[in-house]
Structure 1
Amino acid sequence: MNIAVGQSLPDVTVHIKRDGKVTETTLVEWAGDKSVILIAVPGAFTPTCSEKHLPGYIAHADALKAKGIDAIGCLSVNDVHVMAAWGKDSGADGKVDMIADVHGLAAHAMGIDVVTTPVLGKNRAARLALVAKSGLVTDIYKEEPSVFSVSSAEYMLERL
């Protein structure tokens, strides 16, 4: 089932590495009672994700927080160490939480798991951005395959 406005974020296990320590949490726990933006990307270190999607949210993190967003998360079907390395390499520390969907359970629960190109290998997450308040989705912007537009930080800034 595709996640939709009014639904809860899935209560599935994800991992975040901060200060060298791996934490197991759920998307529900991560969001808590905050207003959050969660972006999903097909893969760490991939071209569009690394050159456009994640950098936009890093660059506009303060502006998004000024519009009432308490936390920004970037979810990908990757292991926690790859996500942490990508976050460090991208300058995401302190701006965007790098969330590892190690087994693709979050992507599957949201209905955004997709089979991608042979280069990426396994199932990945479709590209999207959503806003959730206290764990309930209030806005969702899912991209068509191979498109990057409505999930961008700039588009999100216009909508908040």
Structure 2
Amino acid sequence: MTIQPGDRLPEIPLQRIREGVETVDVHTLFGGKQVVLFAVPGAFTPTCSERHLPGFVEKFDAFRQRGVEVLCLSVNDPFVMKAWGESQHVPEGLQMLADGNGEFTRALGLEMDASGYGMGTRARRFAMFVDDGVVKQLHVEAPGEFRVSSAEYVLDNLPA
């Protein structure tokens, strides 16, 4: 079942690289904060690299001015996420999170089968606004689309 607004995020750790690989729990990432989490099917893939992540890089300061942190998630390993972030000139503070085995994504009910592209199970393209670990808004793209999870759409639809 897909997570819905009003639901608390599952307590499944994710990974990131700072001074090495870190495992970070959901409470650390979302507790007491307003956060936009957006997910992409794959680092270095066309729409993800040409439109999705660049939109959040471009609008990062606008989110921060609203008091909202921004996190990017993909079913990739943390080394890939770090390299992708560097190649995309991700600003400090926009966290690149790895869900290497897709456990967090599956717990959200937002996985997709990309095995037809040789990519296995991946995250659907989505964005969510989370307040203190509780989903307040969820924007899931229809297959092959890129609209409701864009930085512009999410920023325009944040609560006042």
**Which TM-score bucket, shorter chain as reference?**
over 0.9
Q: Note if 1:9 corresponds to 2:6.
A: no
Q: Could you tell me how far 1:117 is from its partner in structure 2?
A: 5.1
Output the amino acid matched with 1:2: T
**What runs of 5+ residues in structure 2 fail to find an aligned partner?**
none
Q: Percent identity?
A: 41
Partner of 1:97: 95
After TM superposition, the runs of 4+ consecutive aligned structure 1 residues lying more than 3 A away are none
Distance 1:90 1:50 in 2: 8
Partner of 1:34: 33
**What runs of 5+ residues in structure 1 fail to find an aligned partner?**
none
- Kindly indicate whether the alpha-carbon contact (under 8 Å) linking 2:3 and 2:108 is maintained by their aligned counterparts in 1: yes
Distance 1:102 1:76 in 2: 8
Partner of 1:22: 21
- How many residues matched? 158
Output the amino acid matched with 2:27: V
SS of the residue corresponding to residue 96 of structure 2 reads strand
Partner of 2:146: 148
Instruction: Tell me which of 141, 156, 159 is aligned to 1:158.
Output: 156
Instruction: Tell me which of 78, 81, 84 is aligned to 1:83.
Output: 81
Output the amino acid matched with 1:84: K
Partner of 2:62: 63
User: Which string of whole-angstrom CA distances, capped at 9 and with x for unpartnered residues, describes residues 90-148 of structure 1?
Assistant: 11141410000011001100000110252242100000000001000111100001100
- Kindly indicate whether the alpha-carbon contact (under 8 Å) linking 1:10 and 1:28 is maintained by their aligned counterparts in 2: no
Q: Could you tell me how far 1:11 is from its partner in structure 2?
A: 0.7
TM-score between both structures, scaled by the size of structure 2: 0.94
Output the amino acid matched with 2:34: S
SS of the residue corresponding to residue 94 of structure 1 reads coil
Output the amino acid matched with 1:134: D
